[in-house]
Amino acid sequence: MKLKTHDRLVEHIADDLFEFANADTDNSEIAGYSNYSYWRSTVQVFLKNKTAVLFLGVIVILLLFTMIQPVLPNQKDPTFIHINPETFMQFRNVKPGTEFWFGTNAIGQDLWARIWSGTRTSLLIGFAVGLFEVVIGIIIGTLWGYVKKLDRIITEIYNVWNNIPTTVILILLTYIFRPSLSTLIFAMAITGWLSMARLVRNLVTIIRDREYNMASRCLGTPTYRILTKNMLPYLVSVIMLRVALAIPMAIGAEVFLTYIGLGLPVQIPSLGNLVNEGRVLMMSQSLRYQLFFPAIVISMITISFYVMGNAFADAADPKNHV
Amino acid sequence: MIKYALKRSFQSLGTLFIVVTVVFLLMRLMPEEGYFGSGFEKLDEVQKEAILKNMGLRDPLVIQLKNFYIRLVQFDFGTSTTYRPNVSVNEIIKDKIPYSLWLGLSSVFISMIVGIASGITMARNKNGFLDKLGTLYIVIINAVPAAVYYLFLQLYLTKFLNLPILFDVDRPISWILPIISMSLGSIAAYAMWMRRYMVDELNKDYIKLARAKGMKSKSIMTSHVMRNALVPMVQYFPASILMAIGGSLYIESLYSIPGMGGLLVDSIQRQDNALVQALVLIFSAISIFGLLMGDILMAMVDPRIKFGNSGGGR
């Protein structure tokens, strides 16, 4: 009965009312294809942030300059004590001028050379700490998030570690192992990997059970391949942010540890040692330049890395891509 | 709720036990000079051995550890060696706590009020002038090492406001600068988190519903956004109040405040092992307890938090 009504309806429709749609397979390819590229969008979003680009420029110039500064003409040795050839006295606390661009310190060393040498030391510490944090953080973080059996154990370790203030760990380690470059890097790396590992762990637990990973597992892909091919690409922005932020943190920690007497030995020029030398002379107006110059360079470096790192992390977040 | 609190407390006790053990074992790696007073050079090997033996440092490690736990349970942190020779650590610390406590507490309250208020203002004027100004402040405070800007504060504020450079208990005017310096960092932290939580909250669907219902944006702000944004903030309050006892290492030493933080710096510079060990343990215990209180408080305030979810929640 129903069928008959339908047939009658069809009969009443004129043939020319409808026609076949001819699907063009080539055209549909074009429409369905998005030329979205993760890295291009990241760069585009980053370039829109003019302040961040400015600071990126500052960082590039600073890095280049600190690297090539020792080979430039007319540069002095950062640890050489300059002696006045006429009086055979050291050039103590000479004001900034044409001979000594940033002046000299209390024992006659060239402040300009010392600042750039100190910047090299501090940047070395920062990059080393950042690298260690990333390597340790990613290894532990992926294991933590991916291997369910390890989750409880590492969570317990994390809870213990996270309960102790970072400053206390830093102080304890540098106090016990005597201050040196490797001690500082070790102490800072061992306090820093924690937050990195947790970030990675959270990301990994989110991505772990997505469909494409389930498919990979069903097809018998080995775990290390899933980790490196399916997971790691998601972590690039986190890695960049941590490395960028490790530098201001390392510089700050170095200055602080030097102040409380656990920094690098005085013979090694570092930004912490320079600030500390400047602090001693701070109360005399005419010698204040010895605090100003290191402080300005430190602030320039830390602010640039901080702003740039955060802007990059924002840009690398696909949520902010159009 | 009580079950959660108990479980969380046991967890903290376990953490404290591990920390105490690890700190003790690490301190055994130290060179032994730290255990002698100033007359270190005058002693010969036999005398040194005798002193070390007397202190129990030649016993097997397990016995040392056992004795250490027993003393800790009795709140006996040992005696100072170089800072104030042969004075018990308890005695030294007793005089120091009030300074750190009062300065720290005033700084905590100032930064809570100012920080949360400015966070709210920033979230209300999102992307406006005040928001940008606040963000600039937060960036500068977070990026520039505190050790650098504290120096400049001490240098210039003392001159412009005509304040004394060093701390003096009897002159309250000399308390102002240390308190301001201590607060700057935590103001930035409170403002940043408050703003972030409020902005997160503002983007949620129930706020859109409230707007669609025709609720006034002022009452949306106070009764929805602020209340919910304050919940995650609550867990930081106990820790920051407790950490006030520890004081700020750098500030106390900079302004010569006779508090706990300055004491740690002094004892490090004088290589006083017993004192450093005691202070490190006290700071860790304070921090562990503060985080414990924070988690319990958070669970009390926010009924959505699942009880018995051990770890990872924070």
Check A248 against B143: CB less than 8 A apart: yes
**Cβ–Cβ below 8 Å for A303 and B143:** yes
What 3 state SS string does B213-261 have? HCCCHHHHHHHHHHHHHHHHHHCCHHHHHHHHHHCCHHHHHHCCCCCHH
For A83, phi and psi rounded to 5 degrees?
-120, 135
Length of chain A: 322
For residues B50 and B94, membership in a common domain is answered with no
Domain harbouring A105, CATH code:
1.10.3720.10
Cα distance from B151 to chain A (closest Cα, Å)?
Answer: 7
Q: What is the pLDDT of residue B306?
A: 57
| Chain A closest-CA separation from residue B259 CA (Å) | 15
Q: Do B199 and B295 share a domain, yes or no?
A: yes
Q: Give the residue numbers spanning the domain of B204.
A: 90-301
Mean pLDDT (chain B, rounded): 82
- The answer to whether the beta carbons of residues A304 and A54 sit under 8 Å apart is no
Domain assignment of residue A7, yes or no: no
Nearest Cα residue in chain A from B288: A163
Q: What is the pLDDT of residue A3?
A: 58
Between B50 and B14, residue with greater pLDDT: B14
Q: Looking at residue B311, what is its pLDDT?
A: 43
Q: Do B144 and A298 touch (CB under 8 A)?
A: yes
SS3 content of chain A, % helix, strand, coil (to 5): 75, 0, 25
Contact B299/B1 with Cβ under 8 angstroms?
Answer: yes
Within this chain, do residues B47 and B147 fall inside the same structural domain, yes or no?
A: no
A256 vs B18, B27, B147: nearest CB: B147
Q: Give yes or no: residues B67 and B114 share one domain.
A: no
- Tell me if B147 and A255 make a contact (CB, 8 A cut-off): yes
* Distance of residue A145 Cα from the nearest chain B Cα, in angstroms: 11
Cα–Cα distance measured from residue A288 to residue A280, given in angstroms and rounded to the nearest whole number: 10
Res B314 pLDDT > 50: no
Closest CA to B295 of B232, B209, B202: B232
Please report, for residues A280, A292, B152, the alpha-carbon distance to residue B149 in angstroms, rounded to integers and kept in the order given: 15, 11, 5
Q: Which amino acid is at A114?
A: R
Q: Which of B144, B267, B280 to mutate to test the interface with A (most CBs of A within 10 A)?
A: B144
A263 close to B (CB below 8 A): no
CA dist B213 and B201 (Å) reads: 17
Identify whether B306 is part of a domain: no
The rounded distance, in Å, linking the Cα atoms of B297 and B314 is: 13
What is the reported pLDDT for A36? 73
pLDDT over 60 at B141, yes or no: yes
On whether any CB of chain B is under 8 Å from the CB of A194, the answer is no
Residues B55 and B164 in one domain: no
Which two tokens mark B13?
A: 């006790």
> To the nearest whole angstrom, how far is the Cα of A134 from the nearest Cα of chain B?
20
Residue B115 has pLDDT above 90, yes or no: yes
Q: How does pLDDT run across A121-137, given as a tens digit for each residue?
A: 888 888 898 888 888 88
If one counts every other C-beta atom within 10 angstroms of the C-beta of residue A307, the result is: 22
Determine whether the interchain pair A256/B287 forms a contact, defined as Cβ–Cβ distance below 8 Å. no
Q: Do A299 and B264 touch (CB under 8 A)?
A: no
Chain A interface, mutation test: which of B10, B141, B142, B148, most A Cβ atoms within 10 Å? B148
Which chain B positions have a beta carbon within 8 Å of A168's beta carbon?
280, 283-284, 287
**For B258-275, what is the mean pLDDT?**
84
B311 at the A interface (CB within 8 A)? yes
pLDDT, tens digit, for every residue of A12-28? 777 777 777 777 777 76
Q: Cβ A252–B147 below 8 Å, yes or no?
A: yes
**Residue B117: which pLDDT band, with cuts at 50, 70 and 90?**
very high
Please indicate whether residue A146 or residue B134 has the higher confidence score (pLDDT): B134
pLDDT of residue A161: 82
For A162, name the nearest residue in chain B, comparing CA atoms only.
B288
How many whole angstroms separate alpha carbon A16 and alpha carbon A46? 55
The residue of chain B with its CA nearest to that of A248 is B143
Are B147 and A164 an interchain contact pair (Cβ–Cβ within 8 Å)? no
- Confidence (pTM): 0.80
Residue B105 lies in a domain: yes
What's the pLDDT score for residue B313? Answer: 39
The residue among B137 and A291 whose pLDDT is bigger is B137
Does residue B210 sit in the same domain as residue B237? yes
- Whether residues B28 and B177 share a domain: the answer is no
- The percentage of residues in chain A with a pLDDT greater than 90, rounded to a whole number, is 2
> What pLDDT, on the 0 to 100 scale, is given for residue A181?
86
At B100, which CATH number?
1.10.3720.10
Closest CB to A165 among B144, B276, B283: B283
The mean pLDDT of B288-305, rounded to a whole number, is 82
Number of domains chain B is built from: 2
Cβ–Cβ below 8 Å for B30 and A176: yes
Residue A83 inside a domain? The answer is: yes
Say whether residue B181 is in contact with chain A using an 8 A CB cutoff. Answer: no
Q: Let me know whether B95 and B147 are in one domain.
A: yes
Distance in Å from the first CA to the final CA of chain B: 17
Q: What is the pLDDT of residues B168-226, one digit of tens each?
A: 777 778 888 888 888 888 899 899 989 988 888 888 888 889 889 988 888 888 888 88
For chain A, how many structural domains are there in total? 1
- DSSP 3-state of A266: coil
Quick one: pLDDT at residue A2?
Answer: 55
Question: B14 and B162 in one domain?
Answer: no
| Whether B253 contacts chain A with CB within 8 A | yes
Q: Which of A39-48, B27-36, B233-242 has the lowest mean pLDDT?
A: B27-36
Q: How far apart are CA A144 and CA A157, in angstroms?
A: 11
Which residues are bridge partners to A81 per DSSP?
A109
Of A253, A299, A315, A290, which Cα lies nearest the Cα of A111? Answer: A290
CA-CA distance, B259 to B73, in Å (whole number)?
24
CA angle B188, B192, B198 (to 5 degrees): 145
What is residue A261's three-state secondary structure? coil
Is residue B244 within 8 Å of B108, Cβ to Cβ?
yes
Of residues A160, A168, A261, nearest to B283 (C-beta):
A168
| B25 close contact with A: CB closer than 8 A | no
B278 vs A148, higher pLDDT: B278
Q: Is residue B307 part of a domain?
A: no
- ipTM of the shown complex: 0.79
- Lowest mean pLDDT: which of A276-285, A295-304, B185-194? A276-285
Look up the domain containing A135 and give its range.
25-320
Rounded distance, CA A248 to CA B147, Å?
12
The answer to whether residue B256 neighbours chain A at the CB level (below 8 Å) is no
CA distance A305 to A240: 11
Residues A213-270 have pLDDT tens digits of 888 889 988 888 887 777 777 777 777 787 888 888 888 888 888 888 888 887 888 8
User: Chain B partners of A167 at a C-beta cutoff of 8 Å?
Assistant: 249
For A168, which of B140, B152, B284 is closest by C-beta distance? B284
pLDDT value at B309 more than 60 = no
B231 touches chain A (CB under 8 A): no
What average pLDDT does this structure show over A59-85? 78
Same domain, B23 and B130: no
Q: Is residue A1 part of a domain?
A: no
